[in-house]
Structure 1
Amino acid sequence: MIHQKRDLRRAMRAARLAHWQALPDAHRALIFGRPPRAILPLIDPAEVVGLYHAVPGEVPTERYAMHMLDLGKMIALPWTRDPSGPMTFRLWTGSHETLEKGPWGQQPHNAMPEVTPDALFMPLVAFDAALNRLGQGGGYYDRWCAAHPGTRRIGLGWTVQQADAVPTDDHDMPLDAVITEQQVLLPIHERILP
């Protein structure tokens, strides 16, 4: 299982970065402007929406953040003190001035309040039609989601990141939805056929 995940992670990271690099900057900025209508039942009840500060290759989330703030929702980003420590979420105002450099990139200042998102948009390395997610391999999101099972989990990825099947362990939790630039995947019983 470890080798399967490692090999899939390596292939999908390369595919994700190549896809992202091939997109013109203007096109990249326009994609993912606001959540699709099919996702609204997952986020409408949420007071706090968790996002992430995208690194090169990942789906950008800045426009989602601005849209959520316009709707009156609070935004939270992942925060960790050190690479081996647990991940929590802290409020983010939407301003780059309230970010600081953390172990994995930009994160809210330490002084920002810790919160629990009601809905969480998560980065991913790979996903499949059963809504299984393969992350970076550190287990941060897996541990956080296991401790907060009531939070709605929504993956953001590029279509090229869809695998035939993502290998899963007993602790892996499927997502409630996946959004790509071309489609929204929901659980089978919620899908609307054309």
Structure 2
Amino acid sequence: MAIQTKKEIRKCVNNNKALMNAQEVIDKSISIQNLLMKQEEYKKAENIYIYVNYNQEVITTDIIKKSLAIGKNVYVPKVHGDIIKFHKISSIEADLAPGAYGILEPIFDSPDDLRDGFLIMPGLAFDREFHRIGYGGGFYDKYLALPNSHIKFALAYDFQIFDSIATDEFDVKVDAIISQDLVIRTTSHKHCNEF
């Protein structure tokens, strides 16, 4: 039976996440990170906008550290009321502290208004038409409703990618999805296993 509703998809993904142990999360995240950093869009980007992983999301802290180490500008989201704004950081340890929902976020209050860079997005589920289901807060949909020039890549485990998912009109599509085994791009609508 096809999974269609957001409620069913959330249950399915959360069940699969719960089955992963800590080492599986690390191993899969390393594979995803390696694929991401091979992408030309990432290599060419001066500005990296990236979430800080929480719970059993794809781990992003190594991407943040490596991006800073090679001289990229790194921006991390912070919740301001019911919206997120991105703040430039220079160090995970010095510039981040637990904030909304217990997620690490910047300790300062002056956000960036550039909205132009390589945006690495979290999500609960995605499909092969590049639709995304978030965690229910609508933070990224609200942020991306504002004028921006972001290239939007999503990181996901294989079980978070569906053939088709139910979405709402305001749900923002991504440009590419990277899992531990494949890269799905809007330009080709095919997955690439050659990396």
TM-score (norm 1): 0.83
Match of 1:150 in 2: 149
Query: Does the 8 Å CA contact 1:92/1:112 hold for their aligned counterparts?
Result: no
CA shift, 1:95, in A, is: 2.8
Over 3 Å counting, the alpha-carbon distance change for 1:100 and 1:174 in structure 2 is same
Is 1:176 paired with 2:175? yes
CA shift, 1:65, in A, is: 1.2
Matches within 5 A, 1:93-172: 93-104=90-101, 105-111=103-109, 113-115=111-113, 116-172=115-171
Separation in structure 1 between the aligned mates of residue 150 and residue 51 of structure 2, nearest angstrom: 15
Equivalences, count: 187
Describe the superposition over 1:125-147 as per-residue Cα deviations: whole angstroms up to 9, x where unpaired.
Answer: 11111111111011100111121
CA shift, 1:28, in A, is: 5.3
Please, what is the CA RMSD of the aligned residues? 2.5
Mean Cα deviation higher: 44-53 or 101-110: 44-53
Query: Does the 8 Å CA contact 2:85/2:111 hold for their aligned counterparts?
Result: no
Aligned-residue identity in percent: 22
Unaligned ranges ≥5, structure 1: none
Separation in structure 2 between the aligned mates of residue 185 and residue 23 of structure 1, nearest angstrom: 25
Match of 2:11 in 1: 10
Query: Does the 8 Å CA contact 2:29/2:180 hold for their aligned counterparts?
Result: no
Mean Cα deviation higher: 109-118 or 173-182: 109-118
CA shift, 1:149, in A, is: 4.1
Query: Does the 8 Å CA contact 1:76/1:89 hold for their aligned counterparts?
Result: yes
Over 3 Å counting, the alpha-carbon distance change for 1:148 and 1:96 in structure 2 is farther
Separation in structure 1 between the aligned mates of residue 8 and residue 189 of structure 2, nearest angstrom: 31
Mean Cα deviation higher: 139-148 or 21-30: 21-30
Separation in structure 2 between the aligned mates of residue 102 and residue 91 of structure 1, nearest angstrom: 16
CA shift, 1:74, in A, is: 0.7
Over 3 Å counting, the alpha-carbon distance change for 1:11 and 1:130 in structure 2 is same
Matches within 5 A, 1:35-54: 35-37=36-38, 39-40=39-40, 42-54=41-53
Over 3 Å counting, the alpha-carbon distance change for 1:162 and 1:25 in structure 2 is closer
Over 3 Å counting, the alpha-carbon distance change for 1:63 and 1:148 in structure 2 is farther
TM-score (norm 2): 0.83
Separation in structure 2 between the aligned mates of residue 29 and residue 168 of structure 1, nearest angstrom: 26
Separation in structure 2 between the aligned mates of residue 183 and residue 192 of structure 1, nearest angstrom: 6
Unaligned ranges ≥5, structure 2: none
Query: Does the 8 Å CA contact 1:17/1:56 hold for their aligned counterparts?
Result: no
Separation in structure 1 between the aligned mates of residue 137 and residue 106 of structure 2, nearest angstrom: 20
CA shift, 1:112, in A, is: 5.4
Describe the superposition over 1:143-164 as per-residue Cα deviations: whole angstroms up to 9, x where unpaired.
Answer: 1112144211110010011122
Describe the superposition over 1:92-125 as per-residue Cα deviations: whole angstroms up to 9, x where unpaired.
Answer: 2133121122113110112454343511101111
Letter in 1 for 2:107: H
Letter in 2 for 1:27: D
Separation in structure 1 between the aligned mates of residue 73 and residue 47 of structure 2, nearest angstrom: 5
